[in-house]
Amino acid sequence: MARHFRESVFVYVVARDFGFAPNPFHGFCTLACCKPRIRSVADIGDWIFGVAGGDLAEAGHCVFGMRVTETLSFDEYWLDPRFEVKKPLRNGSRVMMLGDNIYHRESVNAEWQQEDSHHSRPDGSPDASNIATDTQTNRVLVSEHFTYFGASAPAIPAYVLDAIGYRNGRNHRRFSALAAQPLLSWFQEEAYRARSQIVDDPFQFRRSAARFSSESNKITDEFVEPLMP
C-alpha cells in the first residue's frame, strides 16, 4: 500500500491499560479521553502507537497501533448511533463498564456533562480534574484499522526502536511516516500474524470497576464484581 509521507506517527507510553483509553471494543478503537495533545493534532491517516509503561510490562512492548480513520467532536460521538454501545454501563460487563463515550453538552456554551465512568469519582459523581483534562481538546480519534494486543503486547525489536530513535519517556513523540517506516513495517507483520483486531484483554481488565483521577494521579478500586465480558 502506497504511503503519503506527510502523514504522522505518534508514539506514547501507556501508563494504565484498562480498555478505556484507548477503548478497542465494538469494532472501533477510540481515543476519547486522556492524551489531549495527541487528540488535538492527529488527523485522518495518521498512526498512533501505545508502548507499555514500566508498571505494565518491560519497556518497548506494543500495546496497540491504530490508524485514524475518523475524527469527531464529543457531542458528535455522543449522538452517533454507532457509538451508543460505547456509553458506559457501570453495572454491566467489563467491556461495558469501560465505555469511553462519556462527555456531552445540552448546548455549545453549556458545561460538560460527564457520565458515570472510569473517569468519575468513586461515588459516580463528576470528577472535575478529569473533565478539565479530557475536554481541553474537543476531539475523539476513531480507528477501524487497528490491532490491540493488550496483555499479549509483543516486544518491539531493539533494532526498530533504535532505527527511529525512540525511548520511553514523558509525553509523546511525533515522527514522519518515512522516519517511522521500520516501526510501521514491523507492526504490519505483527498485525497480519495476529489476524484479529483484539488479541488479548487489557493488562488491567480485571480492575474494570476502578476509577482514575488525574488530580491525585491514583487509581481507586471498587469492590464490585462485574458481569463477565
92 burial level (CB within 10 Å; 0-12, 13-18, 19+)? middle
157-194: per-residue pLDDT in tens?
999 999 999 887 777 999 999 999 999 999 999 999 99
51: cell is: 508502548
Q: Where are the domains of the chain?
A: 8-220
- Residue 181 Cα distances to 9, 44, 47, 63, 124, angstroms: 9, 18, 11, 18, 43
36-72: per-residue pLDDT in tens?
999 999 999 999 999 999 889 888 999 999 999 999 9
